[in-house]
A and B are shown apart, each in its own frame.
Chain A
Amino acid sequence: MLLIILLVLLYGAYKKVDMYESFIVGAKEALSLFTTLYPTLLSLLVLISLLQNSGFFGWIANLLGIIFKHYQLPMELIGMSILRPISGSGSLAFLTQIYEIYGTEEFIAKAATLIQGATDTTFYVITLYFSSVRMKKYGYSMALCLFLDVISISLAIFFALNFF
């Protein structure tokens, strides 16, 4: 990280840029994002907290558990898969719980690791980026990216079963 900063500074010095001024302008520009981002992320967090605390997520996880019962998919992985696109810190906490119960080398732990590592917090990312430019319509991006999450999670479980 420091090497990257050093590289930028050396290149800037070589090109004789007013680096101090550039830094201040850039830092200030980031600060001005606060009021744009806060309201949208607040609305998202309130919704997520309600979904978790009302037991709605648990209910959906149970429902999916019944559907996937045939495939003997552990409940933990279903919970993890639902939580991952919605809350990054939530799914990380879930992952550590899984490590605590099963250790790091069991199938469940391996699959959960791949789910956490291979996908991102889709809802949060899309909301963040579009709200930063005050775009209200997301086009097909939400549907497409959630579909890609489904693919990634399936691949994660597949790899955990067969290779990893």
Chain B
Amino acid sequence: MNKIWKYLMIITICFGLFHQKADSMMEGVLTSPMNAFELVLSIVINGSLWNGILNIAQTSGLLESLSKLLSPIFGFIYKDIKHTDNALQFLTTNFIANLFGLGALATMSGLKAMKRLDEINESKDKPSRAMMTLMIFNTTGFSLFPTTILGVRLAYGSSNPSDFIPYIILIGLIALLIGLGIQRVIDRG
């Protein structure tokens, strides 16, 4: 990411200057800090509410029973993690929250899972296999209730606003399975 950022920044600025886009680029650069602020703020602020709830669920043992319930699946996918480890609880919560379209809860539990995975990671500067698996789960993310798109479709007068949902679930599942499959192959080879 370090190198990609460096080179892309230089190339893009040169490209824009060459095409006389200096004004719009300048405007974009100047508005970015505030945009980033609002983005992080929304993660952190909405996240605090859910992290508060999440913390209650963790101390009460609710997360543990939840992850035990799903441990046949997640124990198989995250083979490296011990069944008793906290990480599994957050990974399970992250998956369920994504499924139900609870973005802020998904982000918060995902970040907590990441933190725990970092603590049990054997090499500190290389991402562990479990971390990459978590990335596959969160980037092929599909949801049973894609509320935003539903809202937009409704607003534009769609006669059947929810008819796309089976397809995105199917596509998400296929991509997820292919991703996990490729990862197995990479790690073996």
Contacts and interface: CB of A to CB of B under 8 A. Distances in A.
A14, A56, A129 interface centre (most CB from chain B within 10 Å): A129
A29 B152 contact: no
B138 A129 contact: yes
Interface string A112-130: 0110111111100111111
B19 A145 contact: no
Interface of B: 1-2, 5, 8-9, 11-13, 15-16, 19, 21, 24-25, 27-29, 31-33, 35-37, 39-41, 43-44, 47-62, 102, 107-108, 110-111, 114-115, 117-118, 125-127, 131-132, 134-136, 138-143, 146, 148-149, 152-153, 156-159, 161, 163-165, 167-168, 170-172, 174-175, 178-179, 182-183, 186
7 contacts: A54-B25, A113-B149, A114-B171, A125-B135, A129-B131, A152-B140, A164-B164
B33 A22 contact: no
Main secondary structure of the interface of A (DSSP, over half): helix
A156 B178 CA distance: 15
Given A31-B48, A41-B36, A138-B1, A152 B172 contact: yes
Given A53-B28, A139-B127, A144 B136 contact: yes
Contacts of A19: 56, 60
Contacts of B134: 129
Contact of B19 (A28, A55, A113): A55
Nearest to B156: A99
Which bracket fits the contact residues of A?
A: 35 or more
Contact of B51 (A27, A114, A116, A133): A27
Contacts of A149: 139, 175
Contacts, number: 281
Main secondary structure of the interface of B (DSSP, over half): helix
Contacts of B56: 8-9, 12, 17, 19, 22-23, 26
A160 to B, nearest CB: 8
A2 to B, nearest CB: 11
A38 B37 contact: yes
Interface stretch (A44-52, A63-71, A73-81): A44-52
Given A23-B55, A26-B55, A104-B156, A148 B140 contact: yes
Contacts of A133: 114-115, 117-118
Nearest to A95: B152
A137 B148 CA distance: 32
A27 B59 CA distance: 14
Contacts of A126: 135, 139
B51 A50 contact: no
Contact of B175 (A24, A28, A136, A151): A151
B36 A118 contact: no
